[in-house]
Amino acid sequence: MTFDWWTLGLQTVNVLVLFWILSHFLFRPVSEIIAKRQAAAMDELGRARADRARAEAALAEARARDDDVAQQRAALLSEAQEGAERARQHLLEEARQEAAGLRAGAEAEARRLRREAEAAMQDAAADLAVEISQRLLARLPGPGASAGFIDGLAKAVAELPEQTRQGLGAAGPVAIRAACALGPEETRALADRLAAVLGREVALSVSVDPALIAGLELDAPHAVVRNHFRADLDRIRQELGAHG
């Protein structure tokens, strides 16, 4: 067996040429295509990652907005509940105040009506007392309606201030009103009792006033001395009214 170096050399050249042709026309374009494809894939992957990141950010933002909306909703609900409670308390307070005002007004009205009823009853009682007194005194003899009041009138005159007593009768007769006409003896008795308390004689001018019911009244410029049933009943009526 012989070894042909020319054949080996030619085959080697053929192999080298084949490698050059493959690398120039096949490997390099394929590598460039692969590199381009890899670059495009990386770009797509980058864009996908960016899109995913934006989607995740949008989702996080949406969730944050949802949380914020939920918090705002909870705050609004709480504020609305608090406002409703305040309004309810305000309405209850107004209702209580109105009820208290109505109750106070009703109580005041009831007290006023009671006072008016009591006053009316007191007035009616006083009027009834006056009417009873008038009817009872109408049955008494005429002199009896005034004779019993002479001493009381004289005593009241004695209690007047000294200057007032000195002025009685100084300018003319002392005016005397009687519930009924005085007889001569009653007139004389009245004059004597007044002379005793005044220390001097005084002239009397006696007139009749049935409104006194029973008793006497002395009228002077600076004093009025009453000793009759009408004055007593008027005083009782005033006291009853004051107590009411």
pLDDT digit string, tens, across residues 101-141: 888 888 888 888 888 877 777 777 767 766 776 666 655 55
Burial 52-71 (b: 16+ CB within 10 A, else e): eeeeeeeeeeeeeeeeeeee
CA gap 215, 133 in Å, rounded: 12
For residue 100, the surrounding DSSP H or E stretch is: helix 28-138
Q: Do the beta carbons of residue 195 and residue 202 sit within 8 Å?
A: yes
pLDDT in tens, 22-54: 666 666 666 777 777 777 778 877 887 887 888
Residue 206, classed as helix, strand or coil, is strand
Most confident by average pLDDT, 2-6, 85-89, 121-125: 85-89
User: What local confidence, expressed as pLDDT, does residue 136 receive?
Assistant: 63
**170 inside domain:** yes
Is the pLDDT at 242 greater than 70? The verdict is no
Is the pLDDT at 143 greater than 70? The verdict is no
**207 inside domain:** yes
CA gap 71, 82 in Å, rounded: 16
Angle, CA 25 vertex, CA 23 and CA 30 arms, to 5°: 80
**71 inside domain:** no
User: What local confidence, expressed as pLDDT, does residue 216 receive?
Assistant: 92
Structural domain total, the chain: 1
Average of per-residue pLDDT values in the chain? 80
User: What local confidence, expressed as pLDDT, does residue 141 receive?
Assistant: 56
**Phi then psi for 206, rounded to 5 degrees?**
-100, 130
Mean pLDDT across 181-185: 88
Stated pTM of the model: 0.47
CA gap 90, 98 in Å, rounded: 12
**134 inside domain:** no
Judged by phi (left if over 0) then psi (alpha if -120 to 50, else beta), residue 137 lies in alpha
CATH number at residue 204: 3.30.2320
- Residue 104 has what DSSP assignment? H
Is the pLDDT at 188 greater than 90? The verdict is yes
**27 inside domain:** no
**63 inside domain:** no
CA gap 37, 45 in Å, rounded: 12
Please give the residue that has the higher pLDDT: either 56 or 19. Answer: 56
Q: Dig out the tokens for 64 from the structure.
A: 């944050």
**65 inside domain:** no
Domain residues for 196? 140-243
Closest Cα partner for 100 from 92, 89, 88?
Answer: 92
**14 inside domain:** no
CA gap 175, 164 in Å, rounded: 15
